A = this chain, B = another copy of it.
Amino acid sequence: MKLDRRLVIKILEEKIKSEGIVLGSDILKVNSFLNHQIDPFLMSQIGQAFAEKFSHENISKVLTIESSGIAPALMTSLQLQVPMIFARKHQSRTLNEEFFSASVYSYTKQTENQIAVSKRFINPGDRVLIIDDFLANGQAVQGLLDIINQAGASAVGVGIVIEKRFQAGHQLILSKNLPLVSLASIDRFEDGQVVFSKQGETSHVN
């Protein structure tokens, strides 16, 4: 079953409003349906929404980072009928020449992680769609783009379940001329409540 994409966005926004917990000025916890407990029906609809949006891009691989990106990326890849790859977070010492790797700084945790993808799984000529659960400062997407670049492959777009539009990641992706589809786009937090952007979920450049 496939719901209309606008309805999927509506359901997602309602879930965020009713179950999301705003902490401070820029943290949103949605671990009841997105990144600890998962609502598989909603996740399936999210995957179908991304697949529809990028169906004409001739995508050959879907790429994400463990752990929270795996569910939406898997559902998207199922619909697009292409393999999904999740970058692993590594400690530097375990990396070797079999991997593409990049550094990702987490502002939330204030830690630097190495992420890595086996060189066997991304090749020149691959057309890669990046999927992730959250977009904040864009460091994770930046790391994945770095890996795609090392592989000589092409990034064809970025699909995000929830973006905090007021942080740097949104502009970072647009500045690279990459199509960005953010299903739920948060304009700001106000008195502990989520205010969604009126701009709609898609930001294409050109």
A: residues with CB less than 8 A from B are 31-33, 36-41, 43-44, 66-67, 70-71, 74-75, 77-78, 81-86, 88, 117-118, 120-121
Bound together, the chains give a CA A121 to CA B37 distance in angstroms of 7
What B residues does A82 contact at CB under 8 A? 40
CB distance from A99 to the nearest CB of B (A): 10
CB distance from A42 to the nearest CB of B (A): 10
Check B121–A40 contact: CB distance below 8 A. Answer: no
- Given the interface pairs A67-B66, A67-B86, the reply to whether A74 lies near B40 with Cβ below 8 Å is yes
Check A37–B67 contact: CB distance below 8 A. Answer: no
Partner of A37, one of B32, B36, B85: B85
> A36-B85, A36-B117, A74-B75 provided; 4 other pairs, C-beta below 8 A?
A36-B86, A41-B78, A66-B66, A70-B70
Bound together, the chains give a CA A32 to CA B84 distance in angstroms of 10
What are 8 A-to-B residue pairs whose CB atoms are below 8 Å?
Answer: A36-B118, A38-B77, A38-B83, A38-B86, A41-B81, A43-B78, A66-B66, A74-B75
